[in-house]
Structure 1
Amino acid sequence: MQITHAHNTVSNFKRFHGRAFNDPFVQKEKEKLSYDLVPMKNGGVGVKVMYMDEEHIFSVEQISAMLLTKLKETAESNLKKPVTDCVISVPSFFTDAERRSLLDAAQIVGLNCLRLMNDMTAVALNYGIYKQDLPAPEEKPRIVVFVDMGHSAFQVSACAFNKSKLKVLGTAFDPFLGGRNFDGKLVDYFCAEIKSKYKLDPKSKVRALLRLYQECEKLKKLMSSNSTDIPLNIECFMNDTDVSGKMNRSQFEELCADLLQRIEMPLLSLMEQTQLKVEDVTAVEIVGGATRIPAVKERIAKFFGKDVSTTLNADEAIARGCALQCAILSPAFKVREFSVTDAIPFPISLLWNTEAEDTEGVHEVFSRNHAAPFSKVLTFYRKGPFELEAFYSDPNGVPYPESKIGKYIIQNVAAQKDGEKSKVKVKVRVNTHGIFSVSTASMVEPVKSEESEDVSVETEVESQDQRPLENSSDKKGDQPPEAKKPKIKVKNVDLPIEANLVWELGKELLNMYIETEGKMIMQDKLEKERNDAKNAVEEYVYEFRDKLSGPYEKFVCEKDLQGFSALLTETEGWLYEEGEDEAKQVYVDKLEDLKKLGTPIETRYQEAEERPKLLEELGHRLQYYATIAGEFRNKDEKYIHIDEMEMMKVEKCVSEVVEWMNNAVSAQAKKSLDQDPAVHSSEIKAKLQELNNVCEPVVTQPKPKVDSPKEENPLNERSDFKPEDMGEDEKNSEMPQQNGECHPGDQNPISMDLD
């Protein structure tokens, strides 16, 4: 659709989530897009498109919601049931703002996102859950490195696998290196060549440039499997001019030398972070479409000194990992237990003002590659409300212009009755979505403490089900069991937290988007019904026209044929002119008008097809019942048990149906094929049913059971019988046999055990 509707087809929008319109990345991307980007009222990125013949501006959250709506409909169509829960993948380097924006998009559609899952974690789950040979939990884990180069980004991660669990040790990335960069190199090369050879500038026309991108992507794929010269040919490229060129793999690699050099940097970064050596890595798994480029594969293999593995589906690995995670989180599926511990990609710190001399306190709450999900409890001593500011500790390592995450104001804090500072416990966490938050705050009353520190830190680890588990570090201040302190009664007072996040839609705007999306879904449904009605008319016209010159030709008279053909042609012309964009009911009425003429012809054809078969079947049944009646009259033993009156009913019914059938055949013979039939298939079926209902119960009557006479057994009747009283012949004939031999000398009867 993109080439024919370039200005109204939105693509490559995932990276606009959570960014301001004036973001340098957005402004740079804006130049490459075929559609218009505009600023929203809240400073975010908006997309200007035509919808329902009117100009609309949609936020990037709404655009993603439209995509999710389509995916939801596709899933529901295949599953034949509603879909509400999902797991959505995000690049590992997505910041909090980008993740929250994507969650808003899911909320607009009404999807319950169980987890935002990092791409590389999803790949690792897909790899590990099927492995039966992983080391036991107490053994040394297996280290696997996953490398993913997709359309627009390059991501790597190292994971440690034990039986039924995986832990992400570290991640690294180049967010601006992907398959599209290689396509861009080819496009630039051929643009220059076409300009010098044909005096045409592809970059001056969007449609021409998109076609060149499409052909260059095909060329790149062909070069991945072929090292010879590959031609590039585009017909009617610009100004009705055909263009051509060629490229081979070695030229391509030379062209992309600077891109290929960038591959090693994330790999080096990963090994430094995780303190791993190349020999510690058991396997290197590659996924993503761009890893099929031989030079990319060679660079990765050379770095690790081993062949890369391609056991995973390069295009589906992430989606499969998300599906497995969704199944694990859903109660509707039974999946073997598999624990997933993710890593935080960027270090996160907290900043606050101390009460002494207006100085600032800073504490790094989560280091880079810290396990996630995870919670920590910070204890502050304060006399009044205070503010915490969360930010990324290393702004240069974040591919996002804003290092701040948000500000959190802990409200309703007051000094103790004696004027001393109150103890305030603040829980900070990174949840399963990879999003940081100050989740809860509480004031402990009363507090008897002589500690002078401004803040102390306690830790809570979160398991997969998000239930906090107390770490041993929570109990640092405990006394040994023998020195018990007197119990002091305290109460925790929950404190409200006001969060001011860097990127947040707000409830009013979110509700408006939800309402708009609902209206558009309904509009899509109505539009689909309208299109289906239009397509039904078009389909009927083409199908009937073909059949009128084929199987239906004999079943319509010349006059009706000419009139109906003219109507079909007229309807076809109407469809492509004034009937191009009519309401659903107009198409429904049009189809009804056509069927008034078409249905009788179709019925005559179907009747002519079915009638002979049904008459033949009826004839066979009549013959069958007539034969039985004849055998009954001839005193056949098989039927002598049937009552005379019953058989007379059969004979009468057969006679009546034969007469009806003869009349029907005679009447039909006088009709031509283009006339309505004298007898319909439904009537024949009814007669056949009537015949079977009357005759079948009579002719299938079972014979009455007769008790067989008892056989006289002299052996049983003579109680004083002895074998020696028998003659030799009687002995041989009457005595039991075993194994086919007679035993005349046996004095006792033989007993046999039968299984």
Structure 2
Amino acid sequence: MRNTVYGLKRLLGRKYRDPQVQKELQLLPFAVVETATGSVGIKVNYLNEEHVFSPEQCLAMLLTKLKDTSAVALQTQVNDCVISVPSYFTNNERKALLDSAAIAGLNVLRLFNETTATALSYGIYKQDLPAPEEKPRNVIFVDCGHSSLQVAACAFHKGKLRMLATAADPHLGGRDIDLILADQFCKDFQTKYRIDARSSARAFIRLLTEVEKLKKQMSANSTTLHLNIECFMEDKDVHSEMKRADMEALCDGLFQRVEITLRQCLEQSGLALEDIHAVEVVGGSTRIPAIKQIIEKVFHRSPSTTLNQDESVSRGCALQCAMLSPAVRVREFSVTDVQGYPIAVSWDASGDGEAPGEIEVFPVNHAIPFSKMLTFYRREPFSIRASYVGNVPYPDRNIGIWTVKDIRPTAEGKAQKVKVKVRINLHGIMNISSASLIESKESPDNDVPEEQQKINENSEQPQNETANGQPEEGEEKKEKKKKQIVKSVELPIESLTFGFSQVELNQYTEQEFKMIAADRQEKERADARNALEEYVYELRGKLSSDDELGPFVLDSDRETLTRQLDDMENWLYEEGEDCNRQVYQDKLTELKSKGEPIQLRRLEHDLRPAIIEEFARALQLGNKVVEQFRAKDPKYAHLTEDEMKKVEQTVVQSYKWLEEARSQLASTPKHVQPSITIAQIRQERTNFENVVTPIVNKPVPKPESPPKETKEAEKEVGDNAEQNQQQTNQNQEQPQQNCTQDEKMEWSST
């Protein structure tokens, strides 16, 4: 219990003194300490040593296991993936999740909001969505799971999904209901049995498990339900009861927060109630009748359960991963997500006396991914700070600081134009992606490149020309115009943001690979030990005198081998408990050298009669062929006497060998290695068939072709007959050609 880590989602990317972390520590049975950097450290026992891992490392271990499970199921290596995140995750938490994936060796194509994944799994299978020019289909998605509540409003068109608004309560889920009920039962047990369930972590976890079962029963029953736990604490059995109405009264504060979150999303989306097509619910806690009633109260419609309440998020992630993969063909479906919290950027004062500034670049529910270009006029390096605005479920609103370097004034000492690109990427992470210095320079025509001069000449032809193309008299010559050259120079950016540095990532990745190798070695060691233990039990169980291997071993040898097997079993559970793989393999090889001959004798004894019978049947067939040949059977008339004598001689020799082998095997005891093995019998049969089969299956020769003179005579007779037939036909047709119409009718009747 104290070495099993869970609940990483609420610890990811946070400091130890974060109020949320401190609240979580009261519920977690494993040890959590503060590291030198103020982060969360999880203390566990690994390879009989105390280790401290960060939540990001622990999550990387989980991702590694999921990666291996997927690779085994797909029979191929898995590298690319899409990972779902709660829609309320901030920049720092998202970067921490990406660091975990990097440690696990995964390439994250996209961090996908859970609400957006649910919407995608709903919309991509709908064939009746409105066309782009029609009014969209608006759907509300309510996801209330074990740990949080998330609500999203979406607009669907054919092949297109656009998120309108999201709202969330990170501390409102099925787990919070379980804790309220568990506290109530703790008070009840304190009164009835004088025991404090909170004082024992194991007892409290058992209570939470039973409370969760009771909560699920309440969703289908409004009667009084009983809770019974045997040997709960201090060898005492506990009993209590509760009704659904009691649960709803205890959790009334939570249910009020559900209504607040639903109304917040509805307000931000700007939708009227009549514009909402459906309200889809997912997540285990949406099965609670009180939550369904609140949804119906807010949206004036019954919640729909067409989606799989437990798999909709993972299904949406799988679809998004297929869309981003070049190897899978998926129907085109556009997904536009939104930013959950407003983001503002601020900057330092300039050297020209300009005051510091601040602007909100991405308001709440702004579409992502999205980039914006900010323009500054600076003569020296400066810094840009990004932070969240408003209420954010994270103690630190700061996102990061970016310093734009290598800025210098113009030759005249003026400030230069600097363009900075601010971007929220597919993962929902805000970043300063690039900065460039815009330099402009004036030069005469002869300083402009040749291609640019040609363009300028073509664009500056005089407008009033005579017929011969020459300027009119008296026109003044125009002075050479100054040309302006604009050049963009990329500027280096130094960032100070949350997350591991590349050096730390490399260090943690190397540590993860070492642990993977250690796990592989441990599995091989455990497999070798299990194989040895299994062989000991299997061989010993078959060695009794009336068992399957008993007749094939002497009594004295059986006793010796049984004693060795008993000693090996005792060694396995004493000195051999934690040996390396090679020791177990050597022990197994030693045992097999004594057990396999016995098993081989039994196998030979069981298979030998069928092999001998097959050989005898082949000899009978060969003898029958000889008899038919002697009886002048036309089927073998094409065979010569010498060939048949060879067959007869081979049959006699093989039959003699087989009879001698039968005699020797019949006189050999079962516990003695047979002098003639199955392999030898099969080889003798193969030798027999190699001699007899080509002779018996010899094809019958084809009949000889007639002489050449006979063929020519037959051809002449055929030609003469054909000529005679043609002449007869001509004679029959000739009268019809020379007679009149009446004669033709008469000829025809004749």
Same fold? TM cut 0.5: yes
Pairing partner for 1:328 from 323, 331, 355 = 323
Match of 1:389 among 385, 391, 400: 385
1:62-81 map, 5 Å: 62-81=57-76
> What is the identity, as a one-letter code, of the residue corresponding to 1:101?
A
SS in 2 for 1:308: coil
Task: Work out the CA distance in 2 between the residues paired with 1:577 and 1:233.
Answer: 40
Residue equivalent to 2:435? 441
Which residues of 2 match residues 384-463 of structure 1 at below 5 A?
Answer: 384-394=380-390, 396=391, 398-446=392-440
CA distance in 2, matches of 1:306, 1:201: 44
Which one is further off, 581-590 or 253-262?
253-262
Partner of 1:32, secondary structure, is coil
1:708 is displaced (CA, Å) by: 9.2
Q: CA deviation at 1:70?
A: 0.8
Query: What is the CA-CA distance between 1:654 and the residue it aligns to?
Result: 2.5
Equivalent of 2:495 in 493, 499, 518:
499
CA–CA distance in 1 between the matches of 2:289 and 2:565?
A: 57
Residues 262 and 489 of structure 1: is their aligned pair in 2 closer, same or farther, counting only changes over 3 Å?
same
Taking the TM superposition and a 5 Å limit, the aligned residue runs for 1:80-119 are: 80-119=75-114
| Structure 2 CA distance for aligned equivalents of residues 235 and 688 of structure 1 | 70
| Aligned partner of 1:603 among 588, 600, 603 | 600
Q: Give the Cα separation in 1 of the matches to 2:67 and 2:621.
A: 59
Q: Which amino acid aligns with 2:573?
A: Y
Equivalent in 674, 692, 697 of residue 700 of structure 1 = 697
Q: Which runs of 5+ in 1 are unaligned?
A: 1-5, 449-481, 726-745, 748-755
TM-score by length of 1: 0.85
Instruction: Please give the per-residue CA displacement for 1:443-470, whole angstroms capped at 9, x wherever unaligned.
Output: 111279xxxxxxxxxxxxxxxxxxxxxx
Cα distance in 2 between the residues matched to 1:692 and 1:302: 88
SS of 1:262's equivalent? helix
Moved more, 281-290 or 84-93: 281-290
Q: Does 1:620 align with 2:617?
A: yes
Within 5 Å, which residues of 2 pair with 1:248-647?
248-355=243-350, 357=353, 359-394=355-390, 396=391, 398-446=392-440, 488-501=484-497, 503-549=498-544, 550-647=547-644
* Bigger mean CA deviation after superposition, 688-697 or 406-415: 688-697
1:156 aligns to 2:172 (yes or no): no
Deviation of the 1:124 alpha carbon: 1.6
User: Which one has the bigger helix percentage?
Assistant: 2
Q: What SS is found at the alignment partner of 1:37?
A: strand
Matched residue, 2:687: 690
SS at match of 1:19: coil
- Report the 3-state secondary structure (helix = DSSP H, G, I; strand = E; otherwise coil) of the residue aligned with 1:369: coil
Farther off after superposition, 52-61 or 213-222? 213-222
* Contact 1:416–1:446 (Cα < 8 Å) also in 2: no
Post-superposition offset of 1:403: 0.8
Query: Is 1:212 aligned with 2:215?
Result: no
**Deviations, residues 142-197 of structure 1 (Å, cap 9, x unaligned):** 22222211221111111222222211111111100112112212322222233333
Q: Does the 8 Å CA contact 1:97/1:405 hold for their aligned counterparts?
A: yes
Partner SS for 2:217: helix
**Rounded Cα–Cα distance in structure 2 between residues aligned with 1:248 and 1:554:** 68
Residue aligned with 1:540, SS: helix
Label 1:231 to 1:380 Cα distance change in 2 as closer, same or farther (>3 A).
same
**Quick one: structure 1 residues 618 and 66, their matched pair in 2 at CA, closer, same or farther if it must change by over 3 Å?**
same
Measure, in 2, the Cα distance between the counterparts of 1:702 and 1:302: 92
| 2:213 partner letter | K
Name the structure 2 match of 1:665: 662
> Is residue 2:669 matched to residue 1:675?
no
Shift of 1:530: 0.8
Q: How far, CA to CA, are the matches of 2:278 and 2:649 in structure 1?
A: 86
Does 2:31 align with 1:36? yes
- State the Cα deviation string for residues 595-628 of structure 1 (Å, max 9, x = none): 1222122212222232222222222222222222
Q: 1:594/1:409 Cα in 2 relative to 1: closer, same or farther (>3 Å)?
A: same
Verify: 1:193 aligned to 2:203, yes or no: no
Q: Residue 492 of structure 1: CA displacement?
A: 0.5
**Structure 1, 80-89 or 301-310: larger mean CA deviation:** 301-310
Equivalent pairs counted in the alignment come to 684
Match for residue 469 of structure 2?
A: none
**CA 1:626 to 1:226, structure 2 compared with 1: closer, same or farther past 3 Å?**
farther
Q: How many Å apart are 1:527 and its aligned residue? A: 0.9
Question: In the alignment, residue 582 of structure 1 is paired with which amino acid?
Answer: C
Is contact 2:441-2:485 (8 Å) kept? no
Deviation at 1:357, TM superposition (A): 4.7
For structure 1, which segment, 23-32 or 555-564, has the greater mean C-alpha deviation from structure 2 after superposition?
Answer: 555-564
- 2:74 counterpart letter in structure 1: L
- Higher alpha-carbon Rg: 2
Q: Distance in 2 between matches of 1:249 and 1:657?
A: 88
1:504/1:667 Cα in 2 relative to 1: closer, same or farther (>3 Å)?
A: same
Q: Is the 8 A contact 1:137 1:163 kept in 2?
A: yes
Shift of 1:514: 1.4
Partner amino acid for 1:60?
P
Question: Structure 2: which 5+ residue stretches go unaligned?
Answer: 443-462, 464-480, 729-746
How far, CA to CA, are the matches of 2:644 and 2:181 in structure 1? 91
CA–CA separation in structure 2 for the residues paired with 1:560 and 1:224:
67
- Partners of 1:21 and 1:39 within 8 A in 2: yes
> For 2:302 and 2:130, how far apart are their aligned partners in 1?
22
Structural mapping, 1:716-727, within 5 Å: 718-719=721-722
Deviation larger for 486-495 or 151-160: 486-495
Bigger drift between 219-228 and 7-16 goes to 219-228
Name whichever of 664-673 and 241-250 sits farther off.
241-250
Alignment-mate amino acid for residue 42 of structure 1: T
Residue deviations 1:6-52, cap 9 Å, x none? 11111101221211111111111111110111112222111011111
**Residues 625 and 283 of structure 1, relative CA distance in 2, 3 Å threshold:** farther
Structure-2 residue corresponding to 1:46: 41
Percent of pairs with identical residues: 50
The CA deviation at 1:314 is: 2.0
Between 1:160-169 and 1:45-54, the stretch displaced more is 160-169
Q: Write the deviation string for residues 301-324 of structure 1: whole angstroms up to 9, x where unpaired.
A: 343233323232222221222222
Check conservation: 1:85, 1:111, Cα contact below 8 A.
yes
Corresponding residue of 2:647: 650
Residue 96 of structure 1: how far off its partner (Å): 0.7
Name the CA distance, whole Å, in 2 between partners of 1:122 and 1:256: 29
The amino acid that maps onto 2:587 is K
Q: Distance in 1 between matches of 2:257 and 2:71?
A: 42
In structure 2, how many angstroms separate the alpha carbons of the residues matched to 1:694 and 1:224? Answer: 81
Map Cα deviations across residues 322-370 of structure 1 (whole Å, 9 max, x no partner). 2222222122222222221111111111111343656331111111111
Contact 1:422 1:447 in 2 (8 A): no
- Give 3-state SS (helix, strand or coil) of 1:413's partner: coil
What is the alpha-carbon root mean square deviation over aligned residues?
2.7
* C-alpha spacing 1:200/1:504, structure 2 compared with 1 (3 Å): same
Q: Which piece of structure 1 moves more, 200-209 or 19-28?
A: 200-209
Contact 1:715-1:721 within 8 A present in 2 as well: no
Cα gap change, 1:24 to 1:695, in 2 (>3 Å)? same
| Secondary structure, counterpart of 1:7 in structure 2 | coil
Q: Which moved more, 1:409-418 or 1:693-702?
A: 693-702
The residue aligned with 1:453 is: none
- For residue 55 of structure 1, the aligned residue among 50, 56, 70 is 50
Rate the CA distance shift 1:245–1:686 in 2: closer, same or farther, 3 A: farther
Q: 2:142 aligns with which of 143, 147, 152?
A: 147
Cα gap change, 1:625 to 1:252, in 2 (>3 Å): farther
